[in-house]
Amino acid sequence: MILGAHLMQQAVGQRHGLVLPPQRVSLSMADADIVHYGVPRKIDSPWESASGGVARRERDARLAAIGEAVERTTSGLVQLPMRPRRDIPPGERIDAEDFALFTPDQRTRPGFPHGSIHDPECPYVEVFSLFDNSPVWVPQPFVSLQDPHRTGVPNSSGLAAGPDAHAALLRGMQELIERDALMTTWLHGLSGRAVAPPDPLASEVARLSGEFTVLDLTPAYSPFPVAAVMGGIPKRGVWRYSLGVACKHDWESAVEKAHLEWNQGVLFAGIYGELTDVSRIRKNSELHSFDEHAMYYTLYPELWPDLPILREKNVLRSPSQRAAPEEPRRALEVARKALLDAGIRVYYREVSTIDAIQAGVRVVKALSPDMALIHSHDAWPFLHKVDGMVESRYPGRGAESRFPNLKPHPLG
C-alpha cells in the first residue's frame, strides 16, 4: 500500500498529470472534524461534479479523492472494441430493454430523449459474467463514461478503482447493491428500518446541534449489510440535509462509511450555493443533475420530514447481522454464490488505461440488468422492472409499496 499510495500521488499534476491536484476543503465551526478533499473536474468551474474523498485521516481522504478522479478520467479515456447492436446475434447480447431503465410507456412518451440507446447502430461492448466469465455484449454507455451515440445514459454507478482488479470489482459491485437497495426502497415509498446510531457518531453530530437517522436497507439477497444515514446539520441557522449510503463487509463498517458520505453531502450542501446560482432549483420542479438532487432539501427543508423513507425513524430495530469476508477474493466468492442463488446477473469489464496502471490503480465497471439504478433527471426516472423488485429485496413488504414514489432523492 505504501508503493500504491506513492504511485497514486504521481497521477496528480497541472501539466502532465492524469488528474488535477486535490484540494482540501476548509471546515467551518458547524462541520464535523472529518477530512474532505476534492479534485476539480475542470478549472473554470471547480465545484461542478468534482470528485471527492472523505475520511478520518488526511492521507486517506486525499487518496480517495485522487482515486475517484482517476477512475472517472480513465473511464472517459479508455478505448474498448465496439460493435453496433445490429451486428450482434440476440443470444450474444443484453439490450437496454432488459436493464432497469425506462418502461415501454416512458419510451413512447413525446420528447423521450434516450431513444438512441435502442437503435440498431448503438455501440455495444463486451463484458464478462461474474459467475462463469462467459462473455456477452451490452450497450457501451453501461460500461464507460463516454457517449459517442448520444444516448444520455452513461453513469458512474458500479465504477470503482482499487489497488488490484479484484478490489475494484468488489467495490463496484457493492456500489451496485447499495444503490439497488436505496432506489428500491425509495421508489416503492418504503420506510427504512431505523437502527440506533453508534454513540461516538451520535455525540459527534449532537455537538453540532444536528440530527440524523441510521437506516438498515440490507436487501434479502445481499451477503453484505447496507446502511444509510440521513439527516442535517445547521450552519448559520440554515439546515443542510443530505443522505449517505454504503455497502460494506459488516454493519459497523457500513454505518461508518455511510456517515462519512453523509457528512460529505452536508458539507457540499453548505458550499455549493455559495459558488453557483441555485435559483434554478425550484420547489416541486423536475431536477436535472445529481448536484441539484444534493441541494434540493437544503433549499426546501420543510419537505424533509415528510419523506416516506423516514416514516418510522423513531421505531428502532436491531441492525443487520450480515457479515462477509473483507478480503476481496473471498468476498467476491461469497457474493457470487448469493447473487447466483437470487437470480441476479452481474457483469464486469476492466477499463484501466496504461496511465491508471502506472499510477497503481486498476479500474473496473460492474453492471447488472437486474438491479435498480439511480437517476439524476426527474423527468425520466429509471422505473423499468423496479415495480417487481420489492418482494425479492424486502419480503413481506410489498403491501406497503406506493410505487412510484417520485419525490427527489437526496443523493448527489
pLDDT given for residue 379 in this prediction = 95
Peptide bond into 404 cis (omega under 30): yes
pLDDT, mean of residues 382-387: 98
Residue 8 phi/psi, 5-degree rounding, is -65, -35
**Given a cut of 90, is residue 109 above it in pLDDT?**
yes
Grid cell 441492525 — which residue?
319
Banded pLDDT at 362 (limits 50, 70, 90):
very high
Q: Over 80: is that where the pLDDT of 42 sits?
A: no
pLDDT higher than 90, residue 13: no
Residues 6+ apart with CB under 8 A from 315: 194
Mean pLDDT of 3-18: 69
pLDDT above 60: residue 3: no
Tens of pLDDT, residue by residue over 187-227, are 999 999 999 999 999 999 999 999 999 999 999 999 999 99
Assign 185 a pLDDT band (cuts: 50, 70, 90).
very high
pLDDT at 50: 66
Nearest partner of 144 among 410, 365, 310, judged by Cα: 365
CA–CA dist 85, 76 (Å, integer): 21
Q: Percent of the chain, pLDDT > 70?
A: 95
pTM above 0.85, yes or no: yes
Other Cβ atoms within 10 Å of 24 Cβ, number: 14
329: its cell numbers = 477474493
pLDDT at 1 over 90: no
Q: Alpha helix (H) ranges present in 126-197?
A: 165-187
**Does pLDDT of 16 surpass 80?**
no
- The end-to-end CA distance of the chain, in Å, is 30
Question: What pLDDT does 9 receive?
Answer: 75
- Mean pLDDT of the region 329-343: 98
Residue 367 has pLDDT above 70, yes or no: yes
The overall average pLDDT reported for the chain is 94
Per-position DSSP letters for 195-228, written without gaps between them: EPPPHHHHHHHHTTT-EEEEEE---TT-SS-EEE
Which among 321, 312, 308 has a CA at the least distance from the CA of 194? 312
- For 48, other C-beta atoms within 10 Å of its C-beta total 14
Task: Over range 21-38, report the average pLDDT.
Answer: 94
Backbone angles phi, psi at 42, to 5 degrees: -150, 155
Position 356 scores a pLDDT of: 92
Give 82's DSSP letter: E
Looking at residues 143-163, what average pLDDT do you find? 94
Which range, 218-222, 283-287, 357-361, is most confident?
218-222
Residue 326: count other Cβ atoms within 10 Å of its Cβ.
12
pLDDT exceeds cutoff 90 at 14:
no
Q: What confidence score (pLDDT) does residue 47 get?
A: 57
> Does the domain made of 193-310 have the CATH classification 3.30.160?
yes
pLDDT in tens, 117-149: 999 999 999 999 999 999 999 999 999 999 999
Q: 2 pLDDT band (50/70/90 cuts)?
A: low
Q: How large is the average pLDDT for residues 273-286?
A: 90
- CA triple 164-66-47, angle to 5 deg: 145
Q: What is the pLDDT of residues 313-331, one digit of tens each?
A: 999 999 999 999 999 999 9
The span from the CA of 205 to the CA of 28, in Å, is 14
pLDDT-based confidence at 273, cuts 50/70/90?
Answer: confident
